[in-house]
Amino acid sequence: QVQLQESGPGLVRPSQTLSLTCTVSGGSISSGGDYWYWIRQSAGKRLEWIGRIDSSGNTNYIASLKSRVTISIDTSKNHFSLRLESVTAADTAVYYCAREGGPYEGWFDPWGQGILVTVSS
Amino acid sequence: LVLTQSPATVSLSPGEGATLSCRASQNVGYYLAWYQLKPGQAPRLLIYDESNRASGVPARFSGSGSGTDFTLTIRNLEPEDSAVYYCQQRSHWPPSFGGGTKVEIK
């Protein structure tokens, strides 16, 4: 079964770039029709969709972050990545990666366990 | 489109039942799902398309409703059901989540 695992630094300095990778195991990231998402949750706030990418590299981003976000995919390594530039304390959150597709077309399954990223000097 | 969940927190004893509500500000048809989040664990898809259980989800979890009002019912609560439950819609772009209901098991 497909599993996702986030990796990256847990601490990022303000104004720097947050970079995370989601490694997919148990299946191919190139599966047609799947979308690969980044989702985050700040303390006390609801889950927020950041953006998505398909195996062809087509992306969509949430409007509020569009100027700072880049999602990329490396099919040879079976992973996809998130870059968030010019971070502030407001970007402190648990970041999740998730698949939209598979047997539950249109819904997020599976998810990674999440990685806490703190923005602080 | 805003999803409003209630109550914010519910505290129940093992064996009791829980009824969680999710109300959409616009009609989402049956395009609603429920997820279970536990600290340090991957979020888990429980219910999709309003009432379909994902693979491996116990039958005591059930979803109902349509349009703007949805319910997640958990029968015979077990200690392992302690978690935060979120609804999510995909009828309107972008997909969005509710604020969550925390289920505490006494």
pLDDT of residue B66: 87
Q: Which of A46, A62, A111 faces B97 most closely, judged by CB atoms? A: A46
**Shortest Cα distance, chain B CAs vs residue A113, angstroms:** 4
CB-based contact, A11 to chain B, within 8 Å: no
What is d(CA B33, CA A24) in angstroms, rounded to the nearest whole number? 23
B90 CA to chain A: closest CA distance, Å? 7
The pLDDT of residue A105: 87
C-alpha to C-alpha distance for B104 and B106, rounded to whole angstroms: 6
- Which residues pair with residue A69 across a beta bridge? A84
Reported confidence tier of residue B81, pLDDT bands at 50, 70, 90: very high
Whether the CB-CB separation of B74 and B94 falls below 8 Å is answered with: no
Put simply, the answer to whether B43 touches A111 (Cβ < 8 Å) is: yes
Give the pairing of strands A48-54 and A59-61: antiparallel
Closest residue in chain A to residue B92, using alpha carbons only: A106
Please report, for residues A17, A54, A93, A112, the alpha-carbon distance to residue B40 in angstroms, rounded to integers and kept in the order given: 24, 27, 13, 10
Minimum distance, in Å, between the CA of residue B79 and any CA atom of chain A: 21
**Residue range A53-62: average pLDDT?**
94
Tell me whether A102 touches chain B (CB under 8 Å): no
Taking an 8 Å cut-off on Cβ atoms, the answer to whether A47 and B94 are in contact is no
pLDDT over 70, % of chain A? 100
Judge: B100–A46 Cβ closer than 8 Å, yes or no.
yes
| Residue-level pLDDT at B68 | 96
pLDDT at B33: 97
